[in-house]
Copies of this chain bind each other. A is one copy, B any other.
Amino acid sequence: MLVVMNKNARPEEIDAVVRAIEERGMTARPIAGGDRVSIGVLYNKGSVDPSPFLGMAGVMDLIPVTRPYKLVSREFKPEDTIIRVGDVAIGNGHLTIMAGPCAIESEVQALTIAEHVKKAGAQMFRGGAFKPRTSPYSFQGLGEAGLKILAKVREETGMPVVTEVMDEENFDLVQEYADVIQIGTRNMQNFSLLRRAGQARKPVLLKRGMSAVIDEWLMAAEYILEGGNTEVILCERGVRTFVKHSRNTLDLSAVPVVRRESHLPIIVDPSHAAGRRDQVIPLSRASVAADAHGLMVEVHHEPDKAMSDGAQSLYPEQFESLCRQVRAIFDISRHEA
């Protein structure tokens, strides 16, 4: 960290900051600049809590230098993490497509969609049994009955299944049925749930929070790795901005940044980013072109009758076209690399 002093900071103010740093067991190294002094904070383990210094007399600004995350960082583990779920691999060199309805509504619905998406080229099936809904009056998912349907889908199609867990109470239950456990956007900083996921025996798909910067997202993953679970898949799903023409703004530069900073795989959910069907295919193509390791896409055979998020669900034939297009783009990048 760098403590930047005011131009007119007095020597005793500078000394006070130096002392405060050293009282915390770190080394202070004042740097005389052209017209002001900065103080480097050295030999600290990990990142420094900047709070105590910011309020001290003569201090103008604090500038973090060290990255706060460790276990998730590429500096800690240079080689890419590849996560294997049955026959499916997620990570560098692979393009993994997960697809299915927003919510599991019935066995017939789930199996119908599963067959469609498998045939089109999906490798994993997604579907919500516990649904986080803005309104307490909206459909909240089938709960355990939904999980049982997911197990049936896996049995019938051979596809591993990914589904969301909303709380610690149902964690064991979800873990029993799911192949990959999803932690949703609204829970990205539910630290109790992250700690529980650190104890899980299954890979975790961690969606980016609605307004999370990448450091916060990687720190949320760090909670899981720190707990002992090293299998985390990151999922970009758009961030909240002033823009109104899509539900969220897909932040595709997150893909190269995460790939540079971390060894963990990163996929993209274009359905929740867009919020409307007609943007899903272009954003899917763009995500793969930006080097995402996979996609998570909502598909419904009767979107007009879907119990949630029908507007963003693709028809099966659209999904088939999507798979064909993104595979072709993926082949180009593989060839190029």
Q: Are A168's CB and B166's CB within 8 A?
A: no
- Contact A321 B336, CB 8 Å, known A276-B54, A304-B56: yes
CB neighbours of A138 from chain B (8 A)? 49
Cα distance, A56 to B50, chains bound together (Å): 28
Contact of A211 among B45, B166, B242 (CB under 8 A): B242
Cα distance, A132 to B190, chains bound together (Å): 8
The A260-307 residues at the B interface (CB cut-off 8 A) are 260, 273-274, 276-279, 282-283, 285-291, 303-306
CB neighbours of A167 from chain B (8 A)? 167-168, 190, 192-193
Contact of A169 among B31, B33, B192, B311 (CB under 8 A): B192
Stretch at the interface among A82-90, A199-207, A212-220: A212-220
- Contact A325 B332, CB 8 Å, known A49-B138, A134-B216: yes
A121-136 CB mask vs B (1 if < 8 Å, else 0) is: 0000000000011111
Copy count, this protein chain: 4
| Interface residues in A, total, Cβ within 8 A | 116
The A9-62 residues at the B interface (CB cut-off 8 A) are 20, 29, 31-36, 38, 40, 42-47, 49-56, 61
The A312-333 residues at the B interface (CB cut-off 8 A) are 312-313, 321, 324-325, 328-329, 332-333
Q: Are A43's CB and B33's CB within 8 A?
A: yes
Cα distance, A54 to B6, chains bound together (Å): 26
Q: Are B34's CB and A31's CB within 8 A?
A: no
Q: Does A120 contact B (CB under 8 A)?
A: no
Contact of A54 among B68, B288, B311 (CB under 8 A): B311
- Contact A279 B303, CB 8 Å, known A289-B285, A310-B55: no
CB neighbours of A190 from chain B (8 A)? 166-167, 186-187, 190
Cα distance, A2 to B260, chains bound together (Å): 21
CB neighbours of A53 from chain B (8 A)? 304, 311
Q: Which of A46, A56, A256 has the most CB of B within 10 A?
A: A256
Contact of A283 among B47, B252, B325 (CB under 8 A): B252
Q: Are B278's CB and A286's CB within 8 A?
A: no
CB neighbours of A169 from chain B (8 A)? 168, 192
- Contact A256 B279, CB 8 Å, known A33-B40, A329-B289: yes
Q: Does A96 contact B (CB under 8 A)?
A: no
A178-203 CB mask vs B (1 if < 8 Å, else 0) is: 00000000110111110100000000
A336 and chain B: residue at smallest CB distance: B325
Q: Does A231 contact B (CB under 8 A)?
A: no
Q: Does A144 contact B (CB under 8 A)?
A: no
The 7 closest A-B pairs by CB, nearest first: A54-B311, A167-B192, A289-B289, A211-B211, A286-B286, A285-B289, A186-B189
Can you report 14 residue pairs joining A to B where beta carbons are below 8 Å apart? A32-B42, A34-B66, A40-B40, A51-B311, A54-B276, A54-B310, A55-B312, A68-B135, A136-B223, A241-B251, A250-B253, A282-B291, A286-B290, A328-B336
